[in-house]
A and B are shown apart, each in its own frame.
Chain A
């Protein structure tokens, strides 16, 4: 199996599974607890059907939209995800270049393995930075200042990770960052010699953006879970978020909003966008899926800020449904991480091309010339 055999999410996932040591594959693939929410994030789309219109002289549909002050060529982008060098030696560089090539956002996690400056140097495409509020406030300030200097377009603050979710697959595989060899994982690493070779022959693994500020950033074997629980501030509140919005002074999103009430408060503190997300089903299992909740939020605040639906996207039709229900754009993590693991920059580009083609084809089939024509009249919910 190679990249050219990858036609959809499952194919990329299968190829990634072949390439990655199993603890690392399961770190991407897993959710929290019983993974009920992880599954629902995608299956929610199947409880809703698209109603096409015909004979609309659709021509060549325009897929562009504007988020975080930047026009993007299609209504999807790469969610911020941590530690991309675990998946491919090029890490964030690969995904940033691929996103720029397809005219859409790449997002950098606070826990990236490349620095803000490195990425700014190689990509002039749209860039979003994802912020965690650390207990040490100087880390937060430093990150915001550096993003400003490096001309990132937008900032998002993750608000659903005050404590790490219960990712049981990681308990079983013994996943830590940097990867630690245990008896259980040894076999799996040994069977993926190419991954191991790349990992050790490339630049040292580190959380580049915070490495100077915390000792956890470098070589202490910690699970992500422990990092989150030790470094992030569980006392974070609306005042802290407002401080970040003001300090940034540009397009700003809260990532992980699920209630209408919180969406309204996001407007009050000056946010220009929200990302409806349950962290890919990796945090609170049993929580509502973004697609199940997007319409209620869009009805309440859709005219006042940009709504990004994050989570569960596997297909172009999922994007069409999300936009019809009120999202401005969609983002995804797992899907592009599998493509990154499968083939680096080329893999991500391959995925973005497939997604572009699916959205384009389905817009034609829906009889829509541009994304504005997608609205709730295009959807019928079952039951």
Chain B
């Protein structure tokens, strides 16, 4: 199987499975507890049907939308995800360059493996920095200042990882960052020698936003769940979020809002956007899917800030459904991570090109030429 055999999300997933040592694959592929929420994030789209309109003259389709004050060419973007150089040695560089090529936004995680300074020197298209609220206030200030100096457009504060989710696959595979060889993972690493060679020869693995502050930034092997539970400040509250929002002074989003009540509070503290998300099903299993919850949040605050639907997207039609309900844009992590693991920048570009082609085709089949023409008349819930 090669990149050119990848025609959809599942194909990229299969190719990623072939390329990655199994603990790393399962770190991407897995979710919390029984992975009920993870499954629902996608299956929720199948409980609603699209009703197309015909004969509307659809030669040219415009997929652009404006979020956080920036016009992007696609109504979806790459969510911030951690540790990308584990998946492909180019890591965030590959994703950033691919996103730039399609003029859409991409997110850089506080747990990124390439620094904001380097990213900003190669990517001039819209960028989001994703921020975790650490106990160490010096680290927090440093992240904010560096992202500001690097001219990032949006700051997204993740609010759903106050403690680590129970990712049972990681417990079984012994996934840590940086990867640690255990007896059970040894076999898997040994059977993927290319990954091992690239990992050891393409530059040291590091977490540049953290390394001056925490030893987990470099050499200590830690699980992500353990990192969240020990390093992040569990006392974080609305006051802290409001302060950060003011300190940042630009477009600010909360990532991981699920209730209408919290969406309204986000408006009150000055956010310009929210990402409706359950962290890809990786935190609270049994929590509602973003798509199931989208309509009530849009109804409550859709005219006051940008509502982004994050999680579960595997198809252009999934995005059409979320946009029809009123999401301003769609975002996802696995959406591009399997493709990154499969083939680096070329893989991410192929994935983005496929979603774009699907959206263009699906818009035509719906009889729509602009994203703003999508609305709830297009949908029937079963």
Contacts and interface: CB of A to CB of B under 8 A. Distances in A.
A160 B361 CA distance: 11
A234 B49 contact: no
A255 to B, nearest CB: 10
A162 B55 CA distance: 9
Contact of B55 (A166, A172, A240): A240
Interface string A147-169: 00000000000011011111010
30 contacts: A33-B315, A33-B358, A34-B8, A159-B54, A159-B55, A160-B52, A163-B364, A163-B365, A164-B361, A165-B365, A166-B361, A171-B7, A172-B7, A234-B59, A237-B56, A258-B52, A258-B54, A259-B51, A261-B53, A262-B53, A262-B55, A283-B365, A284-B317, A284-B366, A286-B45, A286-B49, A286-B317, A286-B318, A286-B320, A288-B380
A206 interface: no
Interface string A29-56: 0000110110010000000000000000
B57 interface: yes
Closest 4 CB pairs of A and B: A288-B49, A286-B317, A159-B54, A284-B365
A292 B380 CA distance: 10
B88 interface: no
Contacts of B49: 37, 40, 286-289, 292
Contacts of A236: 55, 57
Contact of B365 (A160, A235, A262): A160
A286 B321 contact: yes
Interface string A236-262: 111011000000000000101111011
B46 interface: yes
Interface in B340-366: 357-358, 360-362, 364-366
A160 B317 CA distance: 16
Interface string B281-315: 00000000000000000000000000000000011
Nearest to B354: A166
B7 A168 contact: yes
B317 A285 contact: yes
Contacts of B59: 234-235
Contacts of A283: 365
Contacts of B377: 259
B50 interface: yes
B58 interface: yes
B51 A258 contact: yes
B137 interface: no
B2 interface: no
Interface string B322-352: 0000000000000000000000000000000
A257 B53 CA distance: 7
Given A234-B364, A237-B56, 11 more contacts: A34-B314, A160-B52, A162-B58, A165-B365, A234-B58, A237-B55, A259-B53, A284-B366, A286-B46, A288-B51, A292-B382
A240 B51 CA distance: 22
Interface string A85-102: 000000000000000000
Contacts of B358: 33, 166
B375 to A, nearest CB: 12
Query: Contact size class for A?
Result: 35 or more
Contact of B54 (A36, A37, A40, A254): A254
B361 A165 contact: yes
A188 interface: no
Nearest to A285: B317
Nearest to A237: B57
Interface in B163-200: none
A279 to B, nearest CB: 9
Contacts of A289: 49
Interface in B218-246: none
B45 A257 contact: no
A285 B46 CA distance: 10
B8 A33 contact: yes
A288 B50 contact: yes
Contacts of A159: 54-55
A331 to B, nearest CB: 18
Contacts of A265: 55
With most chain A CB atoms within 10 A of its CB, the pick from B45, B58, B317, B382 is: B317
A293 interface: yes
A380 B59 CA distance: 42
With most chain A CB atoms within 10 A of its CB, the pick from B51, B55, B362, B380 is: B55
Contacts of B5: 172
A163 B315 contact: no
Nearest to A171: B7
Given A33-B8, A34-B315, A286 B53 contact: no
Nearest to B52: A258
Contact of B317 (A33, A171, A257, A292): A33
Interface string A163-192: 111101001100000000000000000000
Given A33-B315, A172-B7, A234-B59, A162 B365 contact: yes
